[in-house]
Structure 1
């Protein structure tokens, strides 16, 4: 089988993960259980997800010329991701994510650092890596001009694009019309429907919401639904891929795993439904291990699950 090639334009963060027994209330001080520094960032997480499944992956982004940046690049390279298109910036710190992790959930505060310096010109300098890809993955932890430049390069060269709109922020139609696949979770999708002036839909009305979005923007929505799996429309038929029941240990990178695995499936030439089923299964496996990147499964692990 030909090795699929994927370009990922996005963020690289060092995750500072504090584990606590529960979320603190406003003004409350809790004693935590542990702290870990873990390689992260939605872009880097998705790049690792693709590479561990067997894709040839080019990461495009930026880190600071500091210990965190060197560690992030080393981790990507150890997982088989090309970092030649990752800029090393002096006088700018590597981005970080401060994550409070409990048994039930997590909350995250991001400081962009070098990720905020990912410009359209930086992306254009790496345009050949996008042109040669089967699929482009991009998220919203970098400036929007870089997001749009990435999508435009891909569209001009018939490269399929996956826009993972996280964290949710207002997007101009010029970006939304460039995506082939749009992969929000339910909270993000509600945000974008409201921002786009579309009628809100209840949780049970997701079919109507996806159809309305398709009519407006003409791209496929992959609605990620946590324990419920993921839903989409194929033609005018609603399709939901249920998530297998697992014992969750860390949900931090589940969405990134799903996006990476979905991109891997599309880049491998699979059907939409086959790629989506593979992505849901991969994401379910990822939450059974601690750490966003460390939890990304290999192709063999998904096949054997």
Structure 2
């Protein structure tokens, strides 16, 4: 069993579904509204736990009804939350998700997520020592992500970073990340000049980046300069929210298989995740993943 430590954000998602996405100044009538658990860190932790990994989460929630409810939900999913801090200084993080025919636009208010400090991360030092790998993302303060990278480095653990939200990555963090997970936009923002083609960017960072390409699948250039491409699995798409987090968790859980095979697993999990609404509700179990792959051929 993989032992995975996730350091990341915990949100409550407020999902509004309409026939199209609203434009600036426009008021639309919606079709449905849902309140669902979310946050990149929480999504990754739940995805990993459902795939059979022993999963710990380091993060921060507000001392409010949303935060308490999300912690109960995470525990029910099998995620250890002993090192999730609670703050009275900010509300639990929230995301407004506007969904339309499989596409989405999201506004995130980080709230308590931005109260996660390096000191909070250090309280989980024993988990860094026990884990097989560490998975983090940038929905938390950069200082907290850098502390997670430093602890993973100290204990010799692979450190996987979802480079989202997109932006400049400090040189010290660049040096300590074993593998970056990006979509094409994040790849261009974090590693390119806005003009260099994605294959060329992967070639400049051999062995360091996996890029997701939506319905084109995923790609990676290994340390020998060989390009590996994994096609997407064709499924009906209802909601893409959280698909990247599902991919990241599956890649981490299957890391020991090698990146090309782990990408296949991750593309399958992401495909299964987009077939229903919500970032966590349709995440598959390990058995469901194997059944899907068997049927996919």
TM-score range normalised by the length of the shorter chain: over 0.9
Question: C-alpha displacement at 1:191, in angstroms?
Answer: 0.7
Distance 2:65 2:89 in 1: 13
Q: Quick check: 1:231 aligned with 2:216?
A: no
Q: Quick check: 1:282 aligned with 2:269?
A: yes
Match of 1:122 among 120, 123, 132: 120
2:295 matched residue in structure 1:
none
Distance 2:237 2:194 in 1: 34
Distance 1:220 1:157 in 2: 20
Question: C-alpha displacement at 1:207, in angstroms?
Answer: 2.5
Q: Quick check: 1:296 aligned with 2:283?
A: yes
Distance 2:21 2:174 in 1: 35
- Calculate the aligned-residue CA RMSD, in Å: 1.2
Aligned residues: 291
Q: Quick check: 1:264 aligned with 2:253?
A: yes
Distance 1:24 1:283 in 2: 26
Q: Is the 8 A contact 1:200 1:209 kept in 2?
A: no
Runs of 4+ in structure 1 deviating by more than 4 angstroms, as ranges, are none
Distance 1:32 1:261 in 2: 33
Question: C-alpha displacement at 1:82, in angstroms?
Answer: 0.3
State the TM-score, normalized to the length of structure 2. Answer: 0.95
- Of residues 288-297 and 7-16 in structure 1, the stretch that sits farther from structure 2 once superposed is 288-297
Please list the CA deviations of residues 126-147 of structure 1 after superposition, one character each: whole Å capped at 9, or x if unmatched: 1111221111110000000000
1:183 matched residue in structure 2:
181
Q: Quick check: 1:255 aligned with 2:250?
A: no
The secondary structure found in structure 1 opposite 2:5 is strand
1:211 matched residue in structure 2:
203
Match of 2:73 among 75, 88, 100: 75
- Of residues 8-17 and 269-278 in structure 1, the stretch that sits farther from structure 2 once superposed is 269-278
Question: C-alpha displacement at 1:76, in angstroms?
Answer: 0.6
Distance 1:13 1:79 in 2: 16
Distance 2:169 2:287 in 1: 37
2:7 matched residue in structure 1:
9
Q: How does 1:82-121 map to 2 (within 5 A)?
A: 82-121=80-119
State the TM-score, normalized to the length of structure 1. Answer: 0.93
Question: C-alpha displacement at 1:199, in angstroms?
Answer: 7.8
